[in-house]
Amino acid sequence: MHYPEPISKLIDSFMKLPGIGPKTAQRLAFYVLNMKEEDVVSFSKSLIEVKRELLYCSVCGHITDVDPCYICSDKTRDRSTLCVVQDTKDVIAMEKMREYRGLYHVLHGAISPMDGVGPEDINVPSLLERLKDDEIKEVILATNPNIEGETTAMYIQRLINPIGIKTTRPAQGLSIGGDLEYADEVTLSKAIAHRTEM
Residue with Cβ nearer its own copies (39 or 133):
39
- Which residues have CB under 8 Å from 128's CB, separation 6+? 159
73 interacts with its own copies by CB under 8 A: no
Question: Cα(108)–Cα(61) distance, rounded to whole angstroms?
Answer: 8
Q: Which of 27-35, 117-125, 147-155, 156-164 is the region at the interface with its own copies (rule: CB under 8 A)? A: 27-35
Of 55 and 163, the one with the shorter C-beta distance to its own copies is 55
Q: Of 56, 60, 82, 54, whose CA–CA distance to 126 is shortest?
A: 60
Asked if 83 interacts with its own copies (CB under 8 A), we say no
Residue 22 touches its own copies, criterion: CB under 8 A: no
Query: Are 102 and 81 spatial neighbours (Cβ–Cβ below 8 Å)?
Result: yes
Query: Which residue from 22, 70, 101, 135 is in contact with its own copies, where contact means CB under 8 A?
Result: 70
Does the footprint of its own copies cover residue 95 (CB under 8 A)? yes
**Residue selected from 81, 86, 88, 152 as contacting its own copies according to rule CB under 8 A:** 88
- Of 30, 74, 172, 192, the one binding its own copies (CB under 8 A) is 30
13 binds its own copies (CB under 8 A): yes
Among 21, 75, 76, 96, interactor with its own copies by CB under 8 A: 96
DSSP conformation letters of 82-93: EEEESSHHHHHH
Q: Please tell me whether residue 38 adopts helix, strand or coil conformation.
A: helix
Closest alpha carbon to 145 in 81, 83, 85, 61: 85
- Sign of the Cα torsion 183, 109, 150, 135 reads negative
Q: Running DSSP on this structure, what letter comes out for residue 166? A: E
Site residues (CB under 8 A) for its own copies, limited to 33-52: 33, 35, 37, 39-52
Q: How many whole angstroms separate alpha carbon 173 and alpha carbon 44? A: 43
Choose one: 32-40, 123-131, 144-152, 173-181; the region binding its own copies (CB under 8 A). Answer: 32-40
Q: Which residues lie near its own copies (CB under 8 A)? A: 1-7, 9-10, 12-14, 16-19, 24, 26-33, 35, 37, 39-54, 63-65, 69-70, 88-89, 92, 95-96
